[in-house]
């Protein structure tokens, strides 16, 4: 059982580390981990799931059930089950990790090396191959958003190692944060940049007692200088992207929708029309193209906006295709895990053995809720895989760290009672 625990957590870490390093790298560790999880019924382990374990599993299950309903309602194409099935198949992986202890600290290494590998891929593509945007084996937006997510988790790892006074690992984790940010910058994915200040403030606020006022101000200052430096280096392309954003908005206001940002506005407009047409269940994935073509024929939206498969906004995509019912299922998938992780952060606000894993877990839905403003993350394999599985990885890590803490308290109490 001990060996199974070591292998299981190593596979979880490998999924993070290889997510952007090689094509479909996230599948490697997760596929094997899922196969291993199927052995759980044959092992002599007792299931003692908590109410919160059931809640987080139920949120994913409900999303899968509603997605299945919409697939049936709008065509029942078995191909459409691929991505939603991950919300169901993640359950046995969670059960496995909740029942086999191991080196959960490997998750920090997985995220950190995943971010570093992403930056290596990005640097190679931008400055050796000469590509305009780093993308690895994914779309640039998916690459950039996943890279910054790994960078955020690396930043939490830095807080964990700071609390442990493990300074070599602290330095490596900081490098991971910088690398993850660099991968996002070189991908040119502006949507992921919006949440960086908010998430950094969130992390600094919740670590103010650990770091102290001087360190918090110092980190804030370093981040500010870093941001200004990034803007000042033209080769990174950030200032150019910001200029293009401003120009695109101005062009759109002047009646020119056919820019990168302008087409997004057109897709969002079309999505709102679809939602208005069918607010309860939406128009369905297969009805959306016909609906958009009709809007284009009437001159409501640009013809070029019709070719896109989704609205480049997860919220509007859900509202337009699945109506308010699908939208509520989507929000449950975001908010239920987020609430559970935030609750653990409050319960163990001074215990970084637990709090760090809870903070890392909370950053997954927080980041995705930011990414969702400019991309339909769940329309891509990597978007689904790098959401549901990191959540269960860090939730299981929280539960083991929590158990370790409570058992330690019980042992201390027993010693005190014996001494009395």
- Tens digit of each residue's pLDDT (9 = 90 or more) over 267-278: 999 999 999 999
Q: Is residue 323 part of a domain?
A: no
φ, ψ for residue 152, nearest 5 deg: -60, -45
46 pLDDT tier (thresholds 50, 70, 90): low
131: DSSP letter: -
232 pLDDT tier (thresholds 50, 70, 90): confident
Q: Is residue 244 part of a domain?
A: no
Write down the pLDDT at residue 44: 66
Q: Which of 143-147, 170-174, 339-343, 374-378 has the lowest mean pLDDT?
A: 374-378
Write down the pLDDT at residue 406: 86
Q: Is residue 324 part of a domain?
A: no
Pair of tokens at residue 287: 């009805």
Pair of tokens at residue 301: 């939206």
The mean of the pLDDT values for the chain is 90
For residue range 121-149, list pLDDT tens digits in order: 999 999 999 999 999 989 999 999 999 99
The total number of residues shown for the chain amounts to 420
Q: Which of 229-238, 334-343, 368-377 has the lowest mean pLDDT?
A: 229-238
Write down the pLDDT at residue 418: 57
Q: Is residue 206 part of a domain?
A: yes
Write down the pLDDT at residue 88: 94
Q: How far apart are CA 74 and CA 87, in angstroms?
A: 20
71 pLDDT tier (thresholds 50, 70, 90): confident
- Count CB-CB contacts under 10 A for residue 40: 17
Q: What is the dihedral of CA 98, 99, 102, 106, to 10 degrees?
A: -20
Helical H segments across 38-165, by residue range: 51-73, 85-99, 106-127, 140-164
- Count CB-CB contacts under 10 A for residue 277: 13
Q: Which of 48-57, 251-260, 345-354 has the lowest mean pLDDT?
A: 251-260
Q: How far apart are CA 247 and CA 229, in angstroms?
A: 22
Q: How far apart are CA 395 and CA 113, in angstroms?
A: 20
Q: How far apart are CA 239 and CA 232, in angstroms?
A: 7
Nearest CA to 327 out of 339, 311, 341, 343 is that of 311
Nearest CA to 26 out of 16, 11, 35 is that of 16
Task: Flag whether pLDDT at 263 surpasses 80.
Answer: yes
pTM of the predicted structure, to 2 decimals: 0.93
227 pLDDT tier (thresholds 50, 70, 90): confident
Nearest CA to 375 out of 237, 195, 153 is that of 195
User: How many independent structural domains does the chain possess?
Assistant: 1
Pair of tokens at residue 180: 């993850």
Computed from CA positions of residues 260, 262, 266, 267, in that sequence, does the dihedral angle turn out positive or negative?
A: positive
2 pLDDT tier (thresholds 50, 70, 90): low
Residue 102's domain comprises 2-238+355-411
Alpha carbon distance, N-terminus to C-terminus of the chain: 37
What is the arithmetic mean of pLDDT over 44-59?
84
Q: Is residue 301 part of a domain?
A: no
Computed from CA positions of residues 33, 37, 39, 45, in that sequence, does the dihedral angle turn out positive or negative?
A: positive
Considering only residues 413 and 247, tell me which one the structure prediction assigns the higher pLDDT: 247
Write down the pLDDT at residue 91: 94
372: DSSP letter: T
Residue owning tokens 């770091």: 211
CA-to-CA separations, 58 to 50, 218, 383, 392, in angstroms, rounded: 12, 42, 20, 13
Buried b or exposed e, range 317-355, using 16+ CB within 10 angstroms: bbbbbbbebbbebbebbbebbbbbbbebbeebeeebbbb
Pair of tokens at residue 193: 């940049």
Radius of gyration of the chain (CA): 22
Q: Is residue 218 part of a domain?
A: yes
Q: How far apart are CA 211 and CA 217, in angstroms?
A: 10
Write down the pLDDT at residue 407: 79
Helical H segments across 212-351, by residue range: 213-232, 238-253, 260-277, 285-297, 314-347
Q: Is residue 307 part of a domain?
A: no
Task: Flag whether pLDDT at 292 surpasses 60.
Answer: yes
Q: Is residue 295 part of a domain?
A: no
Q: Give the percent of the chain with pLDDT over 70.
A: 95
């Amino acid at each position: 059982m001990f060996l199974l625990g070591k292998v299981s957590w190593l596979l979880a870490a490998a999924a993070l580390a290889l997510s952007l390093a090689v094509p479909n790298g996230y599948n490697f560790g997760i596929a094997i981990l899922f196969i291993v999880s199927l052995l759980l019924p044959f092992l002599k382990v007792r299931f003692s799931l908590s109410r919160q374990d059931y809640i987080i599993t139920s949120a994913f299950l409900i999303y899968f059930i509603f997605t299945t309903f919409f697939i049936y309602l709008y065509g029942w194409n078995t191909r459409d089950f691929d991505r939603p099935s991950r919300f169901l198949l993640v359950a046995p992986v969670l059960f496995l990790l909740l029942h086999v202890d191991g080196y959960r600290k490997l998750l920090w290494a997985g995220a950190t090396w995943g971010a570093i590998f992403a930056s290596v891929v990005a640097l190679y593509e931008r400055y050796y191959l000469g590509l305009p945007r780093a993308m690895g084996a994914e779309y640039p937006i998916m690459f950039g958003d996943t890279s910054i997510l790994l960078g955020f988790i690396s930043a939490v790892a830095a807080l964990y190692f700071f609390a442990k006074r493990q300074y070599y690992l602290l330095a490596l984790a900081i490098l991971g944060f910088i690398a993850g940010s660099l991968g996002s910058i070189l991908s040119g994915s502006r949507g992921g940049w919006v949440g960086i200040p908010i998430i950094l403030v969130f992390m600094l606020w919740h670590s103010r007692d650990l770091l102290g006022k001087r360190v918090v101000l110092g980190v804030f200052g370093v981040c500010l200088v870093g941001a200004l430096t990034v803007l000042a280096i033209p080769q990174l392309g950030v200032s150019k992207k910001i200029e293009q954003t401003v120009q695109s908005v101005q062009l759109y206001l002047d009646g020119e929708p056919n820019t990168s940002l302008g087409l997004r506005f057109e897709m969002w407009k079309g999505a709102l029309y679809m939602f208005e047409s069918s607010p309860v269940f939406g128009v369905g994935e297969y009805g959306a193209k016909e609906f958009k073509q009709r809007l284009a024929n009437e001159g409501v939206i640009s013809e070029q906006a019709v070719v896109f498969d989704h609205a480049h906004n997860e919220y509007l995509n859900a509202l337009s295709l699945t109506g308010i019912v699908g939208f509520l299922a989507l929000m449950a998938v975001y908010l239920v895990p987020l609430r559970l992780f935030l609750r653990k952060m409050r319960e163990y606000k001074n215990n970084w053995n637990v709090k760090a894993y809870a903070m890392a877990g909370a950053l997954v839905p927080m980041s995705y809720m930011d990414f969702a403003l400019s991309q339909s993350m769940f329309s891509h394999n990597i978007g689904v895989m790098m959401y549901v599985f990191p959540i269960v990885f860090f939730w299981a890590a929280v539960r083991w760290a929590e158990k370790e803490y409570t058992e330690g308290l019980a042992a201390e109490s027993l010693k005190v009672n014996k001494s009395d």
